[in-house]
Every structure is written in C-alpha cells, then in structure tokens.
Amino acid sequence: MDGTRFDAAVIGGGLLGTATAYHLVSAGARTLLVDRGDAGRATDAGAGILSPETNSRDSDAWFDFAAEAADYYPTLIERLRDEQAGDTGFARCGKLVVAVSDDEVEPFGRARRIIFERRQRRGRPKPDDLHEISPEDARELFPPLARVQGAIYSRTAARVDGRLLNAAILAAAEARGLVIRTGSVERLLREGDAVTGLVVDGERIHAGAVAIAGGAWSEAFGKQLGVSIPVAPQRGQIIHLGLRRTDTSRWPMVSAFHEQYMVPWPDSRVVAGATRETGSGFAPHTTTAGVRVLLEEALRVAPGLADAEIREIRVGLRPLSADGLPVLGGVSGVAGVFLATGHGPSGLTLGLYSAKLVAEQMLGLAPATDLTPFSLARFTRRTT
Ligand SMILES: Cc1cc2nc3c(=O)[nH]c(=O)nc-3n(C[C@H](O)[C@H](O)[C@H](O)COP(=O)(O)OP(=O)(O)OC[C@H]3O[C@@H](n4cnc5c(N)ncnc54)[C@H](O)[C@@H]3O)c2cc1C
C-alpha cells in the first residue's frame, strides 16, 4: 500500500469513522478506513437509546442538533436495508421517563417543563406520541417497574444496537468500495500547512482529506496539528440482564433521575446502564463500585428484575469533550484534516448525522447544518 493515494482516509472504525467512510464512498470518493480496534471502543458498549425528545439534561444547542440527527436516522436505516447491509437492531420501542423516589419529583417536574416546551417549540412529536401517563399504565408497559410518582411516555423513542449498526454500515461501505485496514495510525503526513495523508504501521499513505474519528483516542493527534483537542475518555459500565421465559420484546426503555436507564431487547434481555466515570483514563475494565451502582439503580427503579441473571458486563470509553458537545469539522490553519469526535454519551444518537456533515465538508461541499457551534475553534489554543 506504500505510496498509494486515496481521495480520503478515515482514522477509527467506531460509529463515527465507519459512518464518515460510508458517506464518503457513497459520494464516489476512493476511501481508506484504518482501525486499531482498541479495547474499550465506545460503539461496542453503547446502550443505543435514541430519544432526544425525552432529554431534559442537555442544552438547546445539543437538542436542536440531536433533533436533526434523529430525523436523519430512518433515512439511513432504510438505505442500509435497501443495501441489505444486515440487521441494525433499530426499532421504535418507546421510552418511559419516571420519578421513583421523593428526591426525583422536583427533577421530574423540571424535565416535564423542558420536554413539553421543546415539543411545543418544534411542533412535534404529536401529543399522542409524547405525553404523561399514570403510574399504573407505566407499570403495564414495563412490568418490573417500581411504584412511580410520575411518568412521561414517548411512543416513538427508538433504540439501536451499536455493534450491529457499525457492522452494517461497514458492510455497506465495503460493498461500495471502501478499503479497510486493521492497524494503528502513528501520525499524519504534513506538507506545510496541509495534512496530505497518514502513516500506518510505518507505511506512508496519501489522502486528499483525512478524518480523525479516533473516539477517546483522538486527542493524540493534537500535538502534530499544533492544537489541543479537548477530548478525554469517560468510562461507562453497562450490564446485560437475562429474564428467562419473559417476553421483553414490547417493553419500552426506562430512565429515571439518578443518571441510569434500562433498555429492553427482544431476546429476554434488559440492559441496565451506565456509569459515567469522568477522569477514568484509558482503563476499560469493570469495577466493583461500578457494578454495584448499576445493580442498585436497576433494582431501585425496577425491583421486578431481582431474579434476572447477569449475562454480560460491557465497558466503553466515551469520547467526552470539554463542554460535552461534539467536535466536528476542519482545523483552522491546517488544510485537509477534519475532526469527527467528542460525542460523549450521545454518539449513537448524533453520530450518523455528524458523519454525514463531516463527509460533506471533506468533499468540499457546504454541510447541510452549520458546524460552527461544534468546531474545534470554540476552544482551540495553539500549543506550538
Ligand atoms: C456504556 C455506554 C453507553 C452508551 N449509551 C449511549 C446511548 O444510549 N445513546 C447514544 O447516543 N450514545 C451512547 N453512548 C455513546 C456512544 O457509544 C459513543 O459516543 C460513540 O460510540 C463514539 O463513537 P466513536 O466512533 O467516536 O468512538 P469509538 O467507538 O470509541 O471508536 C474509536 C475507534 O478509533 C480507533 N482508533 C483510535 N485511534 C486510532 C489510531 N491512531 N489508529 C487507528 N485506529 C484508532 C479505536 O481503536 C476505536 O476502534 C454510550 C457509550 C457507552 C460507553
């Protein structure tokens, strides 16, 4: 491959890298994707909740972008279906937001105000699709649930399986000519103020444009670019519970207000997550404290899960940016390099749309959504 020239190269084979590469090859660009397959790849651990309409924690900037990203999801899922890329686990399973204990009543009230104000502002979802329901109706939808003090139900909230989605996009991209390489990008090739390719395990590969979608590991390229990329690993532990002989296929997702949630899957499985361990460093292992929090919280919200078996515990390192928003697009002062990282706890929600927009920039097109609020320039300081 030495001396080979591509129109574009993508560093990273998590959802951001894979989806960026897919959009590039779909537009006809001869593209290389390089992935090192680090333990702790966030995409492999993600819970897969796609439900900006029930989010009350993040800023309006996040919400507006997430709403656009959610609108884009079905389009891409349908394309992948047409391209017979394989199952993605995407389904509109619905979601409950509940207050269980007394200390959750006030945050529930605040969430209700934000959720319904945003619905009003956007004019969707329809009231039939996003409304309050009684504690009894909530329990009927999700039988293991505790007696709750309040519940909001989103009928159209969706989930996706990060591993399946990533594999499907990769398969579709490969069918369109993507060249995939397992390896580590050691550094970028630079000529003056432009990035002109990359070095993979000692080989120099030229590319017209390079995307850095290295998840929590993206920061490593900052030094060479003379900038700081403020993205760091935030460990997330998540537990997969099995409920023998129980049909979970119609259960909605559930979130409460101690930062945790549950995502049911059709194979008698409920996934309970996730810890948010800011400052964890690159340490993708389970911990006793983490697992305790997950189990305590799952049983607090859903005591009916007490008999569930523990099937698996996954750990991922979320690429968390300094302000919690994605880091997207070009690097000022350096041509030919683009960032697609920093999605933290919402990369499965935002990632497909972010990837589409970054690919558009790499192709010299104006992205469909202005990326300025997500540019590195919002916190860049020159380091060399
Ligand atoms: C427990 C957990 C639950 C989550 N739940 C949700 C959720 O419900 N909804 C939601 O929207 N999001 C969720 N997320 C967040 C989401 O999973 C992430 O934001 C997203 O997957 C990040 O994708 P990425 O491609 O940026 O990074 P990653 O998936 O981490 O991929 C980065 C890849 O880049 C590779 N790489 C790095 N450096 C190099 C290099 N130099 N050379 C070659 N390859 C390199 C790595 O090996 C890795 O494979 C969750 C995350 C976790 C951990």
pLDDT of residue 3: 53
pLDDT of residue 252: 98
Average pLDDT estimate for 348-369: 97
Amino acid present at 107? P
Q: What percent of the chain has pLDDT over 90?
A: 97
Atom of ligand 1 nearest to the CA of 235: 53
pLDDT of residue 56 exceeding 60: yes
3-class DSSP state of 84: coil
What would the pLDDT profile of 73-108 be if each residue is shown by its tens digit? 999 999 999 999 999 999 999 999 999 999 999 999
d(CA 103, CA 369) in angstroms, rounded, equals 39
C-alpha to C-alpha distances, 37 to 34, 42, 44, 72, 303, nearest whole angstrom: 9, 11, 10, 27, 37
Q: pLDDT-derived band of residue 381, with 50, 70 and 90 as boundaries?
A: very low
Q: pLDDT-derived band of residue 1, with 50, 70 and 90 as boundaries?
A: very low
Atom of ligand 1 nearest to the CA of 318: 53
d(CA 42, CA 269) in angstroms, rounded, equals 20
What would the pLDDT profile of 140-149 be if each residue is shown by its tens digit? 999 999 999 9
What would the pLDDT profile of 113-133 be if each residue is shown by its tens digit? 999 999 999 999 999 999 999
Which of 118, 109, 23 shows the shortest CA–CA distance to 66?
118
Atom of ligand 1 nearest to the CA of 44: 29
pLDDT of residue 84: 96
C-alpha 345 – ligand 1 centre gap (Å): 9
DSSP one-letter string for 287-308: -HHHHHHHHHHHHHH-GGGTT-
d(CA 249, CA 124) in angstroms, rounded, equals 26
**Which of 217, 339, 358 is the pocket-test mutation for ligand 1 (most atoms within 8 Å of CB)?**
217
pLDDT of residue 259: 86
Average pLDDT estimate for 267-281: 97
pLDDT of residue 2: 46
pTM of the model: 0.97
Higher-pLDDT residue of 370 and 380 is 370
Q: pLDDT-derived band of residue 380, with 50, 70 and 90 as boundaries?
A: low
Average pLDDT estimate for 54-77: 96
Atom of ligand 1 nearest to the CA of 350: 11
**Which of 11, 35, 166 is the pocket-test mutation for ligand 1 (most atoms within 8 Å of CB)?**
35
**Which of 161, 318, 352, 353 is the pocket-test mutation for ligand 1 (most atoms within 8 Å of CB)?**
318
Residues framing ligand 1 (Cβ under 6 A): 11-17, 34-38, 41-43, 45-49, 162, 184-185, 213-217, 236, 238, 273-274, 316, 318-319, 341, 343-349, 351
pLDDT, mean over the chain: 96
What would the pLDDT profile of 214-243 be if each residue is shown by its tens digit? 999 999 999 999 999 999 999 999 999 999
pLDDT of residue 277: 98
CB 26 within 8 A of CB 176: yes
C-alpha 327 – ligand 1 centre gap (Å): 13
